[in-house]
Each structure stands twice: as C-alpha cells, then as structure tokens.
A = this chain, B = another copy of it.
C-alpha cells in the first residue's frame, strides 16, 4: 500500500483525485493540505467524499507533510507548485505535479508563457511529461512527473498518430471546454449567468498557455512544429472537453484509412477509443479519450474530434494512470 500526499487539495482536481484514489487497491491518501482550509474537515468542504476519505486538511507549511509518504500529487497553481515539487524530491518522495511548472522542457519557453523564471532547471530536465500514450516507458522510471494540461491531452492524443507519417503541415484547433476548467473560486467567468446559454471564446489564436506545452512536446518528438491556431471556448457544461482539430496534411490520407491508422496506433492503449460518432456523454466521468475522424479531400484536411473529461483524463484520472505506471500497478486500477 503506497502512501499519498495531496498538496493543494481543496480545488476541483484535488477533489477528483480523492474520489478516484478511494477506489484504488494499492494506494491510500495519507493526508491532504489546503491553503484555504487548514484544520477543516475535508468532507465538510466536499460532502460527496463522505465515506471515501477521513480527516482534516493540513497546513502545507507544517514540515511534517514532507515525510511518511511515497508520492505527492501537487495540485497548486503554476509558480506556486515548483518549490513543493523540489522539496518533495529532496526528501526522496516521488512527485506528480498537476501544475504547468514542469511541462515545458525549455526554461525560456516556460518563462515566455508563464512570465516567471524557472527555479529548478535541473529538475525540469529530469521531469517526464505524463502522457502515457507517448511516454509510458519514461514514466515508469521517473521521480518527477509533469501531468499534462486538459487541452494538450485532448489535442496531442488527437494528432499523434499522423504527425510523423503522413505528416501535418498546419493545425487549427477549435476546442470547447466545460466550466470546471474555470476553477472552483467564484469569478465573473464561472458565474451561472455568464455561462448559461452562452459560448465564450477566450485567448483566441495563440494566446492560451497550453500552446506552450503542445508545441514543446511536438518539437521534442517530431522536430518541426507546424503552425498552430487554437481557439478555446467555454460552453454551458460542468464536465467535458471536445477539441475539433483541422489537420492540413502533408500527404492526403482518407478518413477511413486514418481511422484505421489511429486504431492501430492506440490498439494497446486502455483509455483511447476510435469511434464513429462523438459527443461527451461517453467520456464524462471516465478516463477515456474518444476520437472520431473525418476529413475533406479537396482541402487535404483531416478533421479529428477528440473528447475527454477535462477533470479525469484531462487532469486527475491521468494523474492516477501515471501513478499506476510509476508504481507498477495495473494501469487501469481505480480508473474503470
């Protein structure tokens, strides 16, 4: 039974982690910290966790939180996370960081997107980007795992099989997310009256920080990065994310052939399904990514629609999948 710490556990990803880990046969949550609710009973903040978890949130300033565990999940905002990651590694505790701090390999790029100097460049080099479908072997042996963002997960899974061959010239990504992507803290954005009966584009073009990690992964894996346009949009839903990706191909491939290629590429993957019709109902509350492929030959463009639950495969579910790989559990444990 491995022992787990969750740092910054009073947000949406922390809650989802506790829910998933409660079903896990080989791991148990030892403690959870919270900046906002130190000393407060966890289930008083998250009543739906009653029966699944006990105890109160701890204060992360307390030194005792750095020992007695095998793994720490860091659920803090970027910049706030990196110090904790480092400290846990110093103490010999493995880390899965759900923030963006260790996702971008190039510190200059990190600075460009997050407007902050990276303070642990050595650790950054060592960190593995936790997309199991791409880096399973590296994940097995790492002690620092950077859990991917929600958009990058849905997008990278939607393009990986054709990036090398037949190859992609450019990408236009039109992505729709749910309100849970906008966090648990009340703001004008996640106000019911803003979201209900609305579709709200934001960070249109090349402004969203998740572009940084998408392009970093592509550069590292495939060399040249195609031109990317990315338009995220908030839609009136509590969970789920659908990325519609238009891939201008270097060489045309019929959608049926592409579909077969994707099926082959992911044939051993427990959480990727190639489907004929796509929507969000089949992935919500699951760790699955469903991918549906269409295309327009005259435009030499494949249309890939990639659906995930932004809180599960896009965050806490994938984090547990990564934990399973790092600690030798069945990769599907607690996730089916």
User: Chain A residues in contact with chain B, CB under 8 A?
Assistant: 12, 47-48, 50-51, 170, 172, 174, 176, 178-180, 184, 186-188, 190-201, 204-206, 227-229, 231, 233, 235-240, 242, 244, 246, 273, 275, 277-282, 284-285, 292, 294-296, 298-299, 301, 303, 305, 336
CB–CB B294/A174 < 8 A: no
Distance between A258 CB and nearest chain B CB, rounded to angstroms: 13
CB neighbours of A178 from chain B (8 A): 197
Alpha-carbon distance between A228 and B298 when the two chains are bound, in angstroms: 9
- CB neighbours of A273 from chain B (8 A): 50
Name the residue of chain B whose CB is nearest to the CB of A228.
Answer: B299
* Chain copies in the assembled complex: 4
- Please state if A190 and B186 are interface contacts (CB–CB under 8 Å): yes
The binding surface of chain A is classed by DSSP as mixed
Q: A174-B231, A200-B279, A229-B296 are in contact. List 11 more A-B contacts (CB 8 A).
A: A172-B301, A174-B246, A178-B197, A179-B192, A186-B187, A186-B188, A197-B197, A197-B280, A198-B240, A227-B299, A229-B299
Cβ–Cβ contact A176 & B179, under 8 A: no
In the complex, what residues of B have CB within 8 A of residue A236's CB?
192, 196, 235-237
Q: Which residue of B lies closest to A230 (CB)?
A: B296
Question: What are 15 A-B pairs with beta-carbon distances under 8 A?
Answer: A172-B301, A196-B236, A196-B238, A197-B238, A201-B292, A205-B294, A205-B296, A206-B296, A227-B298, A228-B299, A229-B301, A231-B303, A235-B235, A235-B236, A236-B237
Residue of B nearest to A286 (CB): B48
Given A186-B188, A187-B186, A190-B186, CB of A281 within 8 Å of CB of B198: yes
Choose one: B198, B246, B281, B284; the contact of A280 (CB below 8 Å).
B198
Residues of B within 8 A of A174 (CB): 174, 231, 244, 246
A294: chain B residues within 8 A (beta carbon): 204-205
Give Cα distance in the complex from A305 to B47, angstroms.
Answer: 17
Distance, CA A244 to CA B202, complexed state (A): 12
